Amino acid sequence: QVQLVESGGGLVQPGGSLRLSCAASGSIFSINIMGWYRQAPGKQRELVAVITSGDSTNYADSVKGRFTISRDNARNTVDLQMNSLKPEDTAVYYCKSAVRRYASDYYRDYWGQGTQVTVSS
């Protein structure tokens, strides 16, 4: 089995910073794309940022210039540095990874349990 565990959420004032981390563990042969998504109350889950195994990145327009995604392939981790946070960034943030397990020929998406980020004064 594969587990994704997020950490680093919390309450922060507008303009502040938070760093989210996600660690993948279990029967992992390789990981392709890793990413962060978020879901605000009453809204659909949306992409925040993704990063490939070759470190190519893509960001939602709403976070460009403020958020930075990075990964450590040796540790199977992906981080999201969030700066200049706004109240509209408030949401549950989820980590997702496309994982190929040992003895498997394909990649499958796994999700973390989510971590709450609240931006409020």
Q: How many angstroms from the chain centroid is the CA of residue 21?
A: 7
pLDDT tens-digit profile of 17-74?
999 999 999 999 999 999 999 999 999 999 999 999 999 999 999 999 999 999 999 9
pLDDT at res. 100: 96
Residue type, 42: G
**Nearest Cα to 23, choosing from 7, 9, 39?**
7
